[in-house]
Amino acid sequence: MLNDRPTKLVPPVLARIAAWSLCLILTGVVVYYFVQIIARLSFVMLPVAIALLLTALLYPMTRSLREAGVRPIYATWLTMIAALAVLAGTGWLVGARATEEFPNLAKQVQATVGDVQDWLTTGPLQLRETQITDFFKEVVTLIEAQRTAITGTVLSAGAVAVEVLASIVLLLFVTFFLLKDGDRIWSWFLKGFGRMAPRVDRAGRAAWTTLSHYVQGSVLVAAVHGVIMGVVLAGMGVPLWAPLAVLIFLASFIPIVGIFFAGTVATLVTLGAKGIVYALIFVGILVVEQQLENHVLQPLIVGRALNFHPLAIILVLSVGGILAGIAGAVVAVPVAAVIYRALPELMSDQPALPPPSVAAVPPEPGGDEPPPAAEERSEGPPEAGKTGAVGRAGADSE
């Protein structure tokens, strides 16, 4: 047996710090290699993550159709067709409005540029025509110098078009089968955990509830935000108001950063088309609406599932953006929320089993053997829980 003399030479506090440091180093190594594996498999992991978000959004419709008596396969097909119809209709509306209004936007931008030039020469700055001309020449020269880089970017974007198409096909397949067989997939997944299956089941159901509330609430908040800003832009007579409304809707899924980007684009279009007065009015309405969203809509709709401090959201967005770019920033917040809600359920103790008098039927008089417990007699596919596609574990997993 080793004597404990060397340990007595180390203060207890230093020994605890060393133990914690070793644990943190090992955890960091495991997390680092896990992130590297996910990065290598991003071609598969990203479509699967987006498919989970889409499943959380679309599953209420599939469940309603099933409860109405529609077979699972038909309910899944009807849900997928309805979702694709909404996407196709939105794309057609945006494309039609952009084709119709883009020439008008170009004319309005030219008129606004002329007004700005007149103000620069006749206003308080009193600039000369030569100075303004030199400035525009420098801008054109800068664009010409970056033409090669822009062309290379377009060519590289065309090279990955096949990968994007394959990712979309994989996304649709995963979403379809999660909607159709999500409960059976979850029950099959639980069988691999043995005695840990009840804990994993509780953690999975908690994570699915959080994800469903977050996705559905985020879509509702983003839709309200996009509709209000679209009405404001249309009321001002700004061209391309429909594409800008869709951009604001999509950007709302990226907290803090997304609305800043979409608001900047909408403000620049408003400035170029209608002038600085309308642009300032739009910025004021955008700021007021954003504050109402943050302090009223978000706490009421999404606050139940996600109660993160803004600093935590910024840090999560930064990590997700560094690891996976824009796509990482989109999925970073829901992933963090799911982990935050699932870990307590995974680490908590299992609930106590019911007493034998409740779990089994009492024997009949006559000395016969008691019938098997109700739980042992119930076999068949697990029923989908109230949380969505995450169903209850089968009898063998308990």
Cβ neighbours around 175 below 10 Å, total:
25
**Among the listed residues 88, 105, 83, the one whose alpha carbon sits nearest the alpha carbon of residue 244:** 105
Q: Quote the pLDDT of residue 367.
A: 44
Q: Quote the pLDDT of residue 252.
A: 82
Structure tokens, 239 = 């061209």
Q: Quote the pLDDT of residue 11.
A: 82
**Residues in the chain with pLDDT < 50?**
1-2, 150, 155, 352-398
Q: Quote the pLDDT of residue 77.
A: 93
Which residues are CB-neighbours of 146 under 8 A, at least 6 positions away?
A: none
Which residues are CB-neighbours of 243 under 8 A, at least 6 positions away?
A: 94, 97, 98
Q: Quote the pLDDT of residue 8.
A: 65
In this prediction the pTM is: 0.65
Q: Which residues pair with 384 in a beta bridge?
A: 391
What is the per-residue pLDDT across 178-221, written as a single tens digit (0 to 9) for each? 998 888 898 898 888 888 888 888 888 888 888 888 888 888 88
Q: Quote the pLDDT of residue 149.
A: 57
Q: Quote the pLDDT of residue 378.
A: 38
**Among the listed residues 335, 387, 325, the one whose alpha carbon sits nearest the alpha carbon of residue 49:** 335
Structure tokens, 212 = 């469903």
What whole-number distance in Å separates Cα of residue 276 and Cα of residue 290?
A: 21
Q: Give the ranges where the chain is alpha helix by DSSP (H).
A: 5-8, 12-40, 42-67, 72-122, 129-145, 147-159, 161-190, 197-236, 241-251, 257-274, 276-292, 310-347, 356-359, 374-377
Radius of gyration over alpha carbons of the chain, in Å?
29
Backbone angles phi, psi at 384, to 5 degrees: -65, 130
Decide if 210 contacts 341 (C-beta within 8 A). Answer: yes
Q: Quote the pLDDT of residue 360.
A: 40
